[in-house]
Structure 1
Amino acid sequence: MDKQALYINFNGELELLGDDKLSVARRAMHYGDGLFESMHAFGTQVQLFDLHHKRLMAGMKALRYIIDDKFKKQQLAFEIERLLKRNRQFGGARVRLTVFRNAPGLYTPASNDAAYMIETSTLPNKFFKLNDKGLSIGVFTDLRKPINYLSPFKTCNALLNVMAGIFAAENQWDDCLIINENNLIVEGYHSNVFLYREGKLYTPGVESGCVMGVMREMLIRLAHQQGINTVELPGLTEEELLSAEEIFLTNAVEGIRWVLAYKNRRYFNRVSVMLNDQLNTTLFAKHINNI
């Protein structure tokens, strides 16, 4: 059976993946002049889309992009749904929305007009499934994440994250943490990081330079509902990692991933399990009850 052809959504037009549409996105490729949202969808609807759109608008303003009607929340949600239907992805799906400056010019663009591209791919699970085996993690120290007004956003210039991912693979870790310019741990290479100790959660605050994670914000809300307060810090130290009872990583596509090992330290996952259950109940209750 032939593999199903996949489509992308390019500025509201459905195009076969592989058509030569990427050439118009050359500023994003040449200069990293873009930003993106990675999202989880189920049943053609994106979870936490309000938070994703809020962060996207803040990032576009920070990059001086012109925000016209095609970037309205309802319009983007419609275009994502249309693409998921066209690709027949009705279970769990990853959605990537990339926005870039759509203008000629070298380092100085001729205008601040913006365009977007939406891509989708199928996920193995419909809902957020906690990892069965805990992660082994380390810390990447070769490069440091700067703290500035672009730090909270997921920009197309992600070399630090790429190098951290390579470093993790070279050391046979499942993930690794990134440090900021103050030598404090602020996030994973594609996630936010939380510690649990003595009834409280600890996580780097946005002022630390970490990504303003959508799932991070959701988990802070859910923890509060469960009577667990979250302390936001300028960053985390290795001593705080080693004294934690639990460590878990969060992102909008995978939800929560719990950590088993850092160096010789081993961790539990009781709070991770509880929050993951609460997350699925909050976002998918109607669908879970129908299974």
Structure 2
Amino acid sequence: MYIYINGSYADSNEAAISPFDHGFLYGLGVFETFRVYNGHPFLLDDHLERLNGSLRILNIEAEFTRTETVGILEGLLAKNSLRDAYIRFNISAGNGEIGLRTESYREPNVIAFAKPLPPAGDMNEKKAVLLDLRRNTPEGDVRLKSHHYLNNVLAKREAGPAMDTEGIFLNNEGFLAEGIVSNLFWYREGILFTPSVDTGILDGVTRKFVIELARTAGIEVREGFYKKEEAEAADEIFLTNSIQEIVPVTSFAGKSFPGKSGGAVKRLYQRYEVQRGTLWSRRQLIGGLAND
């Protein structure tokens, strides 16, 4: 496999970064994961918006445009002979002296790699289980998609290795938060519910896109603080992330749910799959530029 690293492409077995990279030493790094559908990086503008905002928070002097990033991706896909792929786009602070620093980082390490994915098909279902481990609070004012992943790793160990099971966090106040690698939604009596970002969750790119999909479909969306009993009383539950898309839930807290046969999740997924091959941003949907 070839990866992109700091301006060039290299075999993944030969690529290297310094042990003095502060992304390695102190976790100062952020990343985005997204899908490429037949060569198109879905919602790339939204991913770059979040990435660039996170870099400013970490005081890393880098900013990525669509044009620059598409150039990187086109080379990466060509080197690996891919058209449908999982992309991880990773920026770490770069090298520095041992010890915490307050000045900005001007030479970050930029790494991107692609993994093959099959062409998108139907939805995959999962079971959801409530975790004993609580969602940790963000390190700053908002949660970044950063290298700080121990909470997620410990949660995955608790949930177990099964690929068809997702663990659901409560936050420290006992409110529903998010999945280990997903955002959480449920549908009841014509209304779509999802935890507020103020619960401490990651404001997922796919989360925001699905909220807009629902609203443009005439579905009321409510973001707030909810106890687990409110999701247990739902008609349908589903999860979202940028690689797995929309994932219907078949069971949660001992109760069965309709999974991919649910009417709301089918309606949203039909709208999702129409847009994934062309859209650069959810704002195209908001602005009425994408029609289904």
TM bucket by the smaller chain? 0.7 to 0.9
SS in 2 for 1:156: coil
Residue 204, structure 1, aligned to residue 216, structure 2: no
> Equivalences for 1:46-65 in 2 at 5 Å?
46-65=41-60
Contact 1:24 1:102 in 2 (8 A): no
C-alpha deviation, 1:24, in angstroms? 5.8
Return the alpha-carbon distance in structure 2 between the equivalents of residues 181 and 128 of structure 1. 37
Tell me which of 228, 248, 251 is aligned to 1:261.
Answer: 251
> Residue 27 of structure 1 aligns with which residue?
22
Aligned positions of 1:66-105 closer than 5 A: 66-67=61-62, 71-90=64-83, 92-105=84-97
C-alpha distance after superposition, 1:192-235 (max 9, x if no partner): 0001011011101222211110100110111111110110113x
Q: Supply the AA of the counterpart residue of 2:239.
A: L
Q: What does residue 208 of structure 2 align with?
A: 217
Calculate the aligned-residue CA RMSD, in Å.
2.1
Distance 1:217 1:224 in 2: 11
* 1:44/1:85 contact within 8 Å kept: no
- 1:32 positional shift: 1.6
- Work out whether residues 144 and 180 of structure 1, in 8 Å CA contact, stay in contact via their aligned partners in 2: yes
Residue by residue over 1:21-51, the C-alpha shift from the partner in whole angstroms, topping out at 9 and shown as x without a partner, is 1336742223221111001002222100011
**1:118 and 2:109 correspond:** no
Aligned residues: 274
Distance 1:263 1:106 in 2: 46
Residue by residue over 1:103-144, the C-alpha shift from the partner in whole angstroms, topping out at 9 and shown as x without a partner, is: 2123414751222100100113x226301xx32211223243
1:289 paired residue number: none
Q: Which residues in structure 2 correspond to 1:225-240 (within 5 Å)?
A: 225-234=216-225, 236-240=226-230
Q: State the Cα distance separating 1:172 from its structure 2 match.
A: 9.1
Q: Tell whether 2:158 aligns with 1:167.
A: yes
The TM-score, its normalising length taken from structure 1, stands at: 0.87
Give the structure 2 partner of residue 3 of structure 1. Answer: none
Contact 2:86 2:117 in 1 (8 A): yes
Give yes or no for contact 1:195–1:203 (8 Å, CA) kept in 2: yes
1:133-144 to structure 2, matched below 5 A, reads 134-144=125-135
TM-score, normalisation: structure 2: 0.87
Mark the CA change 1:129 to 1:182 in structure 2 (over 3 Å): closer, same or farther: same
Tell me, what secondary structure is at the counterpart of 1:284? coil
Aligned-pair identity (%): 26
Quote the Cα distance in structure 2 between the aligned partners of 1:67 and 1:158.
Answer: 22
**Structure 1: runs of 5 or more not aligned:** 1-5, 287-291
Farther off after superposition, 263-272 or 112-121 = 263-272
Which secondary structure state, in structure 2, belongs to the residue aligned with residue 141 of structure 1? Answer: coil
Instruction: Give the deviation of 1:147 after TM superposition.
Output: 4.2
> Please, which of 122, 128, 151 is the counterpart of residue 129 of structure 1?
122
Contact persistence 1:93–1:121 (CA under 8 A): yes
Once residues 44 and 161 of structure 2 are traced to their aligned partners in structure 1, the CA distance between those partners, rounded to angstroms, is 35
Q: Which residue identity does 2:255 align to in structure 1? A: R
CA shift at 1:267, angstroms? 1.1
Deviates more, 1:164-173 or 1:42-51: 164-173
| Cα shift at 1:170 | 6.7
Contact (CA 8 Å) 2:187, 2:237: kept in 1 or not? yes
- Give the deviation of 1:273 after TM superposition: 1.6
Counterpart Cα distance in 2 of 1:56 and 1:175 = 25
**How many angstroms apart in 1 are the aligned matches of 2:104 and 2:57?**
15
- Larger RCO of the pair (alpha carbons < 8 Å, separation 6+): 2
**Greater mean deviation of Cα atoms: 11-20 or 135-144:** 135-144
AA aligned opposite 1:224: R
Equivalent position amino acid for 1:119 in 2: F
